[in-house]
Structure 1
């Protein structure tokens, strides 16, 4: 088998394993939010496949070959779970199409993208449609109501839509953390209500990927360790000005999804072991800073894209350290 085909087969097997490992997290999200998650996933997958097929035809490439590697499906899956459940259909389509076009095919396709395509699509949508992107449901809907909300969205009642735990903590000015956990329905036992179980489910899938050696431990451990350390250093108990405990930050938002399914993206991330570790550390630190003092409740996507810009610098630093060690 030619080396190129072998590389394509390895990429396809890795993407299939990533999709399998994401299944516990997808099931947990479905349990938490209901049909909106699956509708998001279907819209993102169809949009991603149409983009891949269209670009392949424009480049006079075989459509089947373009769809074969599975990278577009992984990007679609990441966007589907990152976007709010029951968001309008056009938002999912726009995020997927823009992410793949501007984050992947603009630079020549798979293996050449300097940015994570899914996170670029997410951030572009956040910048263009901030109100819709921060409209999270409080609970799930039945299937017909979910379809109506996605394809014919109406203003959702406040009893159904609510701020996330990260957003509630960030804008809190008067209640202690204990009072927030006791009175605000967005808070669970340790993190966001239900979201803590979603994070544990993605952690389970991430451990499977580590066991299968789809990626090394450096980036996820770097991200989780730095997020834990900075949140511990900045934690001032349960006062009204508290930024949350380390456990709260580890089990809220997209922490585990980011640690095991986003910062480990092999193309836009760092390549050497030290650079991957530094990349993960940077994502963890930036995520906390954005969550605490930034204008958005969760900073994983922004942190990843900022660190994508620093990958060449990290690689040069890692190479210089290695050359000094061997000199």
Structure 2
């Protein structure tokens, strides 16, 4: 016989979609938020984005070379990690801090656990929390138009809604991290990912709806002067901080989110409840990063509970 056959175990379904294709589409989807962040904050934002992305790619390359492993920088996963970390950084933070965060994300959170597909939490968020704990001052200091001041979400936390302009929060002309300020830019990228079939609405939709319900009910407990489901209060929470960036680009990470449909809904509910708890009853105005990381750690349990039972005799144990 002249014909040769490839023998492999099931499943036998083949797809032309690769990790590199998916990550490249995520990079493209992040460009609107990146472009607006650079426009909004200027050269410091551009320097931060370049430093975090370059450090992530370089760290992955050097580690894999030293360990005699296949170099995987061509799959764009390190680029995505660097961009996400940069978008979560204040533009006034020194560039070396962002680079250090990228080294932590790639080396500690990703590579030491086996590389792409093996990390137990989102590398960019793990690095952001590492930087928040290590350099709290620079990571929580925000300057806009040369003026240092609180973010709109800080005003929301204190109940000073008269200091909040929700239209500015929607457009992005407010202080904050490089990529979290413009909801419009984030949604443009999210729509692209949905149209390309990279993500769906299960996780981000459940996350946002659960968060709205939680804040609508318990926001009145923290601020009695605010009514139940106050539209201004809810809009400010939705547009403020890293909720939108986290919901569409980090909570949907394939590696650290459930693969079962029921698990994805349960995961979204956990995210919404935890974010609401941190924002309303916690000491900080934010809470998205910690909510996603904690939910990442719960994914094995969520999948165990929601895994479909095998059909037929002997399936039940």
| Alignment partner of 1:99 out of 89, 100, 105 | 105
Output aligned runs, 1:74-153, within 5 Å: 74-139=80-145
Q: For 1:213, what is the secondary structure of its paired residue? A: coil
2:173 aligns to what?
194
- Identify unmatched segments of 5+ residues in structure 2: 1-5, 9-13, 175-179
The whole-number CA distance in structure 1 between the counterparts of 2:16 and 2:46 is 28
**Conservation of the 8 A alpha-carbon contact between 1:200 and 1:256:** no
The whole-number CA distance in structure 1 between the counterparts of 2:310 and 2:216 is 31
1:170 aligns to what?
157
Label 1:272 to 1:24 Cα distance change in 2 as closer, same or farther (>3 A): same
The whole-number CA distance in structure 1 between the counterparts of 2:42 and 2:94 is 15
| Alignment partner of 1:50 out of 55, 58, 74 | 58
2:247 aligns to what?
259
- Identify unmatched segments of 5+ residues in structure 1: 140-158, 182-186
Aligned pair 1:17/2:25, yes or no? Answer: yes
2:277 aligns to what?
289
Deviation, 1:237, is: 11
Output aligned runs, 1:265-280, within 5 Å: 265-280=253-268
Q: For 1:210, what is the secondary structure of its paired residue? A: helix
**Conservation of the 8 A alpha-carbon contact between 1:229 and 1:246:** no
**Conservation of the 8 A alpha-carbon contact between 2:60 and 2:107:** no
Q: Which has the higher helix share?
A: 1
The whole-number CA distance in structure 1 between the counterparts of 2:15 and 2:110 is 19
Higher-Rg member (1/2): 2
The whole-number CA distance in structure 2 between the counterparts of 1:289 and 1:322 is 36
**Conservation of the 8 A alpha-carbon contact between 2:30 and 2:186:** yes
| Alignment partner of 1:39 out of 47, 51, 58 | 47
Deviation, 1:212, is: 0.8
1:145 aligns to what?
none
The whole-number CA distance in structure 2 between the counterparts of 1:274 and 1:160 is 46
The whole-number CA distance in structure 2 between the counterparts of 1:310 and 1:7 is 30
Q: For 2:120, what is the secondary structure of its paired residue? A: coil
The whole-number CA distance in structure 2 between the counterparts of 1:255 and 1:316 is 27
The whole-number CA distance in structure 1 between the counterparts of 2:129 and 2:69 is 30
The whole-number CA distance in structure 1 between the counterparts of 2:40 and 2:269 is 30
The whole-number CA distance in structure 2 between the counterparts of 1:62 and 1:306 is 31
Deviation, 1:62, is: 3.9
**Conservation of the 8 A alpha-carbon contact between 1:190 and 1:248:** no
Label 1:49 to 1:197 Cα distance change in 2 as closer, same or farther (>3 A): closer
Aligned residues: CA RMSD: 2.8
Deviation, 1:216, is: 2.5
The whole-number CA distance in structure 2 between the counterparts of 1:306 and 1:254 is 16
The whole-number CA distance in structure 2 between the counterparts of 1:319 and 1:62 is 33
The whole-number CA distance in structure 2 between the counterparts of 1:80 and 1:36 is 11
TM-score of the superposed pair, with normalisation by structure 1: 0.81
Label 1:315 to 1:51 Cα distance change in 2 as closer, same or farther (>3 A): same
1:154 aligns to what?
none
The whole-number CA distance in structure 2 between the counterparts of 1:58 and 1:8 is 31
The whole-number CA distance in structure 1 between the counterparts of 2:78 and 2:43 is 22
